[in-house]
Structure formats: C-alpha cells, structure tokens
C-alpha cells in the first residue's frame, strides 16, 4: 500500500471520560455498532452512534472509540482524509474531515467500542459523498440584496441559547456596513460555526440554516432600528491586542481588552476591562475550520478580574498535529481568524447606564511547521564528526545604546567568552538606530566589525516584546555578511565551551539551523546569500507577534536543522531543573527574562543581583535562587575580564528599573 493509505488506516483513538455508567451483564456477548447519518456539512459529518446487543437493545455509545478510515474517490483512488473526532453529545459524534469540500466518493469508517454489557463491538459504515452538503446555503438573491445595512463598524445580536446549554446569551457580531447579501452570509456562517441549527427557531425546522439565518438578520434589523433612537454612546470597548492583520505563528492569541471614553472631541483610553466578556474566535476563510481548531476561550464567556489587566488568551491549534507538538504537520497552512469580544458595562461620568459593547480584529494564523516524525537533534558529539571547512564568522545585533549601554556590555562579554573558548573568527556587530559614538568606538576597539543596517520598511514591532522596537528586524541583514557560514548569537548569551562545530550544522543542505521545531532567533546558524524575504513579507501585513522570529519560522517553513538545547540553555530552566543536566552540560547559556507586565526593563545579568532581595522580583515568573545568582556571577567574571581588555571608554549600563518609554505599556487609571 502507498504511504498515504498506510497513514489513512492508522488508528485514531479518542479517550474521553465516561459520563454514563450502567451495570454490566453477568454473561456479556458481542455487540454491533450502528450509525445514523445526521448531517454532512462541508467540513464535518455528524453521526448518531449506538450499540446493538444480541437482544436488539440499542444504547447510545459514549467513551473510547477506535476509528479506521479509508477515503475513496469515484474512480477508486484512495486518498488521505485527516480526521478529528469529537463528542457532540452522548451518542452523537462529530467527525471533522479536512478537504471534504466538493469531494465526491466514499468515506469508509470502521468503528470499534465495547460498551457495558458487550465483550466486543464493531461496525463499518460506507458513506456516499455526493458533493452536496447540508451547510451550503444558496446566497441571498432578494431584490434588496445590494442594500447597505448599518452605518457603524459593527452590529450585535443577542441569541438566547436553549435551556439545555444553560440558557446563556450568545452575542453574534456582524461586520458593518455591508450589503444585505453579505449580512445574510454572515448569519449563515454564525449558524454553522455555533451549531445553531440544533436550536429551536420559531417557524424553522432543525437544520434549516436558510430559515434560521433569515431570522437572525431580522433580529439585526430590529437592533439597528433601536440604535437609531439612542444617542451615540461616549464609551466603547477596545480590543488593543491582537492588532488587526497581525500574524500568529504560535497558537496563543493574547487579547487585551480595555474601555475608551469620548471626551474633548477625541477618544481616550480609560481603563482595563474587568467583569464578564464573551470571546469568539473562528476562521473566516472557508477551509479554516477543519485545518485549524480553536479551543479555550473561543465561543465562551470569561470573567476578567481586576488583576488580569484586561488580559485573556485564546488557543488556536491545528487539528492534526504531532503528539505533544505545537505546530502543524502539513505545511503552508494559512487562515484568517476573526477574534470578537462583547461585554455589558457602564462607566461612571460617561456612560452610567450599562449597555452592550463589542469589538473585533482579524488575524492571520500561520502555524509553524513540524515534521510528523520528530526531526533528528544534532548535538555537540554528532556535529563534531563533520570535518567540512568554511569561511566563517559570528554576528550579533545592537541598537539603542544612547539610552542604555547594557547590550553593548553584553556583546563585549559574549565576544570575550568566545575568545576564551578558542573561537577566534571575524565578529560582526550589526548596528541599528540610536547607536552613539562612544559605544561604536568601544566595539571597534574590542575587535568588532561594525556594520550599520537600515530600518526595514513594511514591518512592525513585536506586540509580545514591544520594548525591542524594530531593531530585531536587522537580523535579516545577516544573510549579506561576507562569509560561507555565520553563527548568530543574541548579545545576552554566554558561550561556555568551543562551539566551532556549529559551522558544520548545515552540511546536510539545510538553509538554517536552530534549536526546536519553532526556531528561536537567539541562536542561529545560516548560509549568507540571496533570500526572497520580500516575497514572504508581501504575503502578510508585516505585523508578527514575535517580530522577525515568527517571520523566520514562516519563511523557512520547518526546513531547518534542529540543534540540541545545549546550544540554548536557559539560565532559568537550569535553575528550575527543566534542563536537568545542569550548566556543565550547556554550550551556550541564555539569560532570558520578561517584564511580566510591570513596565520594568527585562532583567539581564549586567543588572546584577541586588534586586533579587525584593519580595516581588521575578525572573521569568520565578523567584531567583542560588543557581541564578551563581550563573550571573559567572557572567560577571567574564564581563570583568572583557572590561579589563577594553581600551576605549564605555558608560556603565543603566540600572534596573522602569522603562523610560512606556508607549507600549498600559497604566491602569480611571474607574469603571
């Protein structure tokens, strides 16, 4: 059999908790499984699964099922369907099949399950796929199809859930102004993605999506008519993150919700949102629902406490990913996702009467690519067996020294650690904006080859690490260095041994080498030369959550060599035991940290350890311990030797404290 058909027949096992319990018979007998087809939609099949015992008694199945799949086209060709099986309710199974749109052929499912009272149970179902699907509703073609509905940026309809689901309201947001034809299409989409076709609409049959969508549009018309009679509110819900058009490579959508008020003829940010908020995340492209899967906050009510600072996260996951992985096994996935929020609140002095507010953003999800079988990890021993020789160099990036020389001190220490471990090759410092003459002279006197880089156009700063600005995009200039192989290192790392073997990491023909499937930009091995970066950038907005690091994952699409984590040992993970081998097994030590929303600079080793005594100080959310102190002192010793060898003056780093530029950080103010 072909590799694809072998993959198709692989077992896909679903383990879910048993919600129903029954007493097994004393003499259990084999059972059969039967399935009734409830709905065939463009991305999923709904089946009613029941077991039938020897006496003909039927029971709804719930528990663990094993599926074998086979997908045959009309000419008998066997294809690979990608299945995701979820329980919709007791006895109701929802099978997601990617690529089902417009497919005609046969889908064969072999299902086995042994419920209470049965020794074994098997069933085979042969479903004919005709290309006709229950959720493909004809477009609206009334005489008023081109009529423009609404004048604002959106409209909201509140749909009452059936009592079985708690009777809670579901806010349905519409993008306005739009034609009536498009509004109807949005309503059809809402009926399908929220599975409202199971709800009881007055005068509509179940599964009659056209009738149900028409009623929702009527609700929207009534809502807009009422809004015309009300004064324009002086408050609005702000969805500050994600940014419109932002590209996600990792699957977490970090949302920041706030409240804005209208005062002095302009809108002002007032406070972070606290209280109940409804979040909905869904793919806005036709093929997104089966390729990608939203969980957690999607389509759910959430309660934001005051100390959440308006923060909530939505997890987007590809439906078919490697066990324990975080990316997608098939490359090229790209889907536009809508993130919508709705909340009911008032603001004293501006909008004292509570009412509904809503906001929305569209993001692009491009999950990083990971292989189905974990890629080989190249460590120091395996790389040392390679004997190729190249013209080599090391490089780092620096910018913004006029306000703080910390990273310049880091670069000096990095170069000193390389020299002390026998790595003596040309060392480039790519210098971005705001590098003063003193820092430049210090670097040149220490043997750096300084090269100015221009800001890259058409890109934005990292929304996760806004304090970095646009400087990290200078990393794309590494491919213009005059060398055959380049090791790039962030300037906050410390080299602990000779790492020259890294220059042979691309001997297999790979374009790049880095630790992990999701490559981190802090340690890279690359081949300088032409790269079509502009072509990849043109595909999206240039706004990436983690800046150039996300972009490199999109551009190289998982084709890089995977390096051992000994080349990117996190000091925090060494201290916590997550890297159990200890610092002695590390080749490169990284001092990673974060601001944890305080508005302070990220802690780095040149800040010292004096602030460790503060009860609320954290390094990556952990209270620093003796191991972090020892590793920091190890860095400091190399730093002192670098300063002793330095022949030019250099100002000390700015002390640890608040960021001077709080442009990208919110300060809580106001009163809801």
Residues 462, 586, single domain; the answer is yes
- For residue 173, whether the previous peptide bond is cis, meaning omega lies within 30 degrees of 0, is no
Q: Can you tell me the distance from the alpha carbon of 551 to that of 368, in angstroms, rounded to the nearest whole number?
A: 10
Q: Which residues contact 405 (CB under 8 A, 6 or more apart)?
A: 439, 650, 651, 652, 653, 654
Q: Compute CA distances 590 → 406, 528, 547, whole Å.
A: 15, 24, 19
Reported residue count of the chain is 672
Residues 89, 182, single domain; the answer is no
Q: Of 228, 253, 284, which residue constitutes the final position of a domain? A: 228
Bridge partners, residue 377, by sequence: 562
Domains contained in the chain, number: 4
- Which stretches in the chain have pLDDT values below 50? 1-26, 99-100, 164, 287-298, 661-672
CATH number, domain containing residue 306: 2.60.40
pLDDT at residue 594, rounded to an integer: 64
The answer to whether position 370 is within a domain reads no
Residues 271, 338, single domain; the answer is yes
Residues 35, 165, single domain; the answer is no
Give the containing element (helix H, strand E) for 247.
strand 247-248
pLDDT at residue 451, rounded to an integer: 94
In degrees and rounded to multiples of 5, residue 627 shows phi and psi of -65, -45
Q: Can you tell me the distance from the alpha carbon of 42 to that of 188, in angstroms, rounded to the nearest whole number?
A: 13
The answer to whether position 139 is within a domain reads no
Residues 152, 123, single domain; the answer is no
Q: Dig out the tokens for 187 from the structure.
A: 């309503």
Q: Can you tell me the distance from the alpha carbon of 277 to that of 272, in angstroms, rounded to the nearest whole number?
A: 12
Residue written as tokens 């308006």? 310
Nearest to 501 by CA among 579, 447, 561: 561
Q: Can you tell me the distance from the alpha carbon of 470 to that of 462, in angstroms, rounded to the nearest whole number?
A: 8
The answer to whether position 547 is within a domain reads no
Residue written as tokens 């299409």? 185
CATH number, domain containing residue 586: 3.90.550.10
Residues 635, 498, single domain; the answer is yes
Buried b (16+ CB within 10 A) or exposed e, 496-513: bbebbbbbbbbeeebbbb
Q: Can you tell me the distance from the alpha carbon of 482 to that of 426, in angstroms, rounded to the nearest whole number?
A: 10
The answer to whether position 454 is within a domain reads yes
Residues 516, 628, single domain; the answer is yes
pLDDT at residue 285, rounded to an integer: 53
pLDDT at residue 23, rounded to an integer: 31
Q: Dig out the tokens for 288 from the structure.
A: 């997104």
Q: Can you tell me the distance from the alpha carbon of 271 to that of 265, in angstroms, rounded to the nearest whole number?
A: 19
Bridge partners, residue 272, by sequence: 258
CB 5 within 8 A of CB 58: no
CA 174 to chain centre: 25
Buried b (16+ CB within 10 A) or exposed e, 574-598: bbeeebeeebebbbbbbbbbbbeee
Residues 211, 253, single domain; the answer is no
Instruction: Report which DSSP code applies to 663.
Output: T
Angle, helices 406-420/437-445, rounded to nearest 10 degrees = 0
Q: Can you tell me the distance from the alpha carbon of 413 to that of 633, in angstroms, rounded to the nearest whole number?
A: 13
The answer to whether position 137 is within a domain reads no
Give the containing element (helix H, strand E) for 441.
helix 437-445
Give the containing element (helix H, strand E) for 269.
strand 266-272
The residue segments making up the domain with residue 57 are: 3-130
Q: Of 83, 100, 130, which residue constitutes the final position of a domain? A: 130
Instruction: Report which DSSP code applies to 249.
Output: S
Residue written as tokens 């020389």? 405
Residues 421, 436, single domain; the answer is yes
Q: Can you tell me the distance from the alpha carbon of 252 to that of 295, in angstroms, rounded to the nearest whole number?
A: 10
The answer to whether position 390 is within a domain reads no
Q: Which residues contact 75 (CB under 8 A, 6 or more apart)?
A: none
pLDDT at residue 299, rounded to an integer: 65
DSSP labels for 54-105? TT--EEE--S-EEEEEEEEETTS-EE--EEEEEEEETTEEEEEEET-TT-EE
Q: Dig out the tokens for 348 from the structure.
A: 């004293």
Q: Can you tell me the distance from the alpha carbon of 648 to that of 654, in angstroms, rounded to the nearest whole number?
A: 18
Residues 252, 305, single domain; the answer is yes
Q: Can you tell me the distance from the alpha carbon of 383 to that of 504, in angstroms, rounded to the nearest whole number?
A: 7
Residues 210, 275, single domain; the answer is no
The answer to whether position 654 is within a domain reads no
Q: Of 172, 194, 228, which residue constitutes the final position of a domain? A: 228
CB 131 within 8 A of CB 264: no
Convert the pLDDT of each residue in 244-299 to its tens digit: 999 999 888 889 999 999 999 999 999 999 999 998 887 765 544 444 444 333 46
Residues 343, 249, single domain; the answer is yes
């Amino acid at each position: 059999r072909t590799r694809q058909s072998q993959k198709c027949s692989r077992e896909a096992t679903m383990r879910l908790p048993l919600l129903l319990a029954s007493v097994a018979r004393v003499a259990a007998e084999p059972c059969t499984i039967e399935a009734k087809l409830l709905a065939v939609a463009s991305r999923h099949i709904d089946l009613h699964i029941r077991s039938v015992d020897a006496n003909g008694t039927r029971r709804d199945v719930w528990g663990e099922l094993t599926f074998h799949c086979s997908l045959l086209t009309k000419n008998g060709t066997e294809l690979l369907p990608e299945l995701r099986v979820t329980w919709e309710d007791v006895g109701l199974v929802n099978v997601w099949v990617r690529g089902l749109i417009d497919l005609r052929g046969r889908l064969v499912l072999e299902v086995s399950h042994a419920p209470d009272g049965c020794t074994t149970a098997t069933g085979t179902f042969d479903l004919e796929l005709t290309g006709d699907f229950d959720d493909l509703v004809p477009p609206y073609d009334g005489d008023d199809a081109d009529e423009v509905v609404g004048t604002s940026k959106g409209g909201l309809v509140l749909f009452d859930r059936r009592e079985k689901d708690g009777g809670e309201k579901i806010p349905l947001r519409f993008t306005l102004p739009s034609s009536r034809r498009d509004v109807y299409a949005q309503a059809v989409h809402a009926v399908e993605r929220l599975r409202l076709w199971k709800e009881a609409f007055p005068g509509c049959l179940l599964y009659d999506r056209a009738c149900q969508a028409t009623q929702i549009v009527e609700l929207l018309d009534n809502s807009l008519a009422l809004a015309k009679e009300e004064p324009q509110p002086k408050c609005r819900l702000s969805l500050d993150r994600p940014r419109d058009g932002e590209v996600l490579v990792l699957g977490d959508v970090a949302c920041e919700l706030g409240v804005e008020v209208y005062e002095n003829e302009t809108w002002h940010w007032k406070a972070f949102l606290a209280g109940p908020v409804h979040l909905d995340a869904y793919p806005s492209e036709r093929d997104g629902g089966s390729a990608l899967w939203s969980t957690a906050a999607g389509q759910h009510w959430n309660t934001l406490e005051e100390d959440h600072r308006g923060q909530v996260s939505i997890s987007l996951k590809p439906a078919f990913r490697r066990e324990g992985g975080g990316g997608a096994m098939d490359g090229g996935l790209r889907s536009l996702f809508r993130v919508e929020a709705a909340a009911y609140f008032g603001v004293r002095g501006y909008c004292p009467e509570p009412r509904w507010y809503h906001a929305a953003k569209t993001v692009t999800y491009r999950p990083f690519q990971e292989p189905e079988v974990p890629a080989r990890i190249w460590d120091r021993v395996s790389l040392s067996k390679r004997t190729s020789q190249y013209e080599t160099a090391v490089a780092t990036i620096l910018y913004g020294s006029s306000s703080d020389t910390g990273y310049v001190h880091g670069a000096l220490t990095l170069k000193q650690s390389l020299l002390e471990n026998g790595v003596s090759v040309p060392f480039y410092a790519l210098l971005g904006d705001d590098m003063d003459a003193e820092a430049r002279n210090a670097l040149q006197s220490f043997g750096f080859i300084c090269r100015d880089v221009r800001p890259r156009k058409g890109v934005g700063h990292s929304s996760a690490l806004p304090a970095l600005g646009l400087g990290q995009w200078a990393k794309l200039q590494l491919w213009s260095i005059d060398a055959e192989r380049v090791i790039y290192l962030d300037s906050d790392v410390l080299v602990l041994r000779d790492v020259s073997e890294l220059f042979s990491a691309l001997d297999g023909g790979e374009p790049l080498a880095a630790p992990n499937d999701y490559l981190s930009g802090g340690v890279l091995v690359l081949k300088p030369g032409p790269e079509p970066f502009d072509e990849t950038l043109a595909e999206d907005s240039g706004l990436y959550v983690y800046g150039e690091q996300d972009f490199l994952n999109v551009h190289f699409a998982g084709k890089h060599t995977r390096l051992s984590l000994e080349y990117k040992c996190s000091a925090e993970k060494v201290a916590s035991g997550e890297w159990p081998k200890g610092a002695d097994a590390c080749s490169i030590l990284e001092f990673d940290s974060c601001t944890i929303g305080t508005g302070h600079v990220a802690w780095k080793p040149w800040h010292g350890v004096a602030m460790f005594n503060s009860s609320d100080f954290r390094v990556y959310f952990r209270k620093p311990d003796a191991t972090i102190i020892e590793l920091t002192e190890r860095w400091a010793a190399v730093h002192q030797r670098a300063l002793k060898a330095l022949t030019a003056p250099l100002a000390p780093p700015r002390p640890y404290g608040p960021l001077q530029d709080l442009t990208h950080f919110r300060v809580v103010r106001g009163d809801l």
